[in-house]
Amino acid sequence: MAVKFERTGMLLIISGPSGTGKGTLVKMLMDCDPSFRFSCSVTTRKPRDNEIEGVHYHFVTEEAFDRLVSENAFLEHATVHGHRYGTLRAPVERMMAEGYNVLLDIDPQGAITVMQNADDYVSVFILPPSFEDLRVRLHTRNTDDPVEIERRLKNARGEVQKIDRYQYAVVNDNLELAFAQLQSIANAEKHRTTRFHPHVAEN
Ligand code: ADP
Ligand code: 5GP
């Protein structure tokens, strides 16, 4: 007879410098584990060519962002590389209440705010193998102009200083290996007795 169980959802914070592979790893996790839902952030940044409203981000004006701040709609929000980004509280709370694991792809400022305020979370810092690799990745991704790339690389040096605030670190050198490590963290965390509640049957 199968063991019956209940699960409590996990808030999984994936963070680290721009270009380190967070989006790639988040997509891989979403594609292979239906227990995860992505928290679609709000941003004042302009959409890139491949980005879809409501899938990658909710793209809004500065005024709309200000309104959401005044309505206390954000779990956290921060200015990152000159643009504003925020995590909407209501969808995260709804998905968690439905029992899903929720993925946040957010910068270290936002991650630290969530860690200070949330009762329960799992935090993972994604590192590049080197700053040179990060430079190459940002150029290869071909989504930001050279000035923007320099800004992101400069910020990356400050961001990696915050690694000690996180529970886990993954170096994304070999993508398959990094993904396997991220999956191991997620799978182990799913089995904490605070999140996994099995009921042993009599027979
Ligand atoms: P982030 O979401 O952290 O800004 P992305 O997921 O967009 O980063 O990755 C940045 C670029 O690096 C993308 O072009 C992606 O395909 C590439 N990339 C991701 N992981 C690796 C890796 N392990 N090795 C080489 N390139 C990678
Ligand atoms: P990008 O402009 O490349 O999509 O994202 C730039 C940075 O903003 C990345 O580090 C990404 O993780 C972060 N980011 C995306 N959404 C949010 C959010 O809702 N809050 C915060 N604090 N950072 C975010």
CA 22, distance to chain mean position in Å, is: 7
Q: Is the CB of 74 under 6 A from ligand 2?
A: no
**Of ligand 1's atoms, which has the minimum distance to the CA of residue 175?**
23
Pocket mutation for ligand 2, best pick of 85, 139, 145, 154 (most atoms within 8 Å of C-beta): 85
Residues 38 and 158: their CA atoms lie apart, in Å, by 26
Residue 1 has pLDDT above 70, yes or no: no
Q: Measure 65 CA to ligand 2 centroid, in angstroms.
A: 14
The reported pLDDT for the residue numbered 46 is 95
CA distance 122 to 114: 10
Place of tokens 């239906």: 34
**Residue 20 CA: which ligand is closest?**
1
Tell me, what DSSP letter sits at residue 193? T
Q: Tell me the CA–centroid distance for residue 44 and ligand 1, in Å.
A: 22
Question: Cα 34 to the chain's mean position, in Å?
Answer: 16
What would the pLDDT profile of 5-59 be if each residue is shown by its tens digit? 888 899 999 999 999 999 999 999 999 999 999 999 999 999 999 999 999 999 9
* Single-letter amino acid code for the residue at 6: E
CB 87 less than 6 A from any atom of ligand 2: yes
Return the number of other C-beta atoms located less than 10 Å from residue 64's C-beta. Answer: 13
Specify the pLDDT at position 201.
87
* Better pLDDT: 65 or 1: 65
Nearest ligand, CA 19: 1
Residue nearest to atom 14 of ligand 2 (CA): 106
Residue 58 parent element (H or E): strand 57-59
What are the b/e assignments for 1-16, b being 16+ CB within 10 Å?
eeeeeeeebbbbbbbb
Ligand 1, atom nearest to 18 Cα: 4
The owner of tokens 């049957």 is 201
Q: Is 44 in the pocket of ligand 2 (CB under 6 A)?
A: no
Please give the Cα distance from 187 to 85 (Å, whole number): 28
**Beta bridge partner(s), residue 168:** 124
Give the tens place of pLDDT for each residue, 91-126: 999 999 999 999 999 999 999 999 999 999 999 999
What mean pLDDT value characterizes the chain? 96
pLDDT of residue 5: 86
The protein residue whose alpha carbon is closest to atom 15 in ligand 1 is: 21
In tens, the pLDDT along 124-162 reads: 999 999 999 999 999 999 999 999 999 999 999 999 999
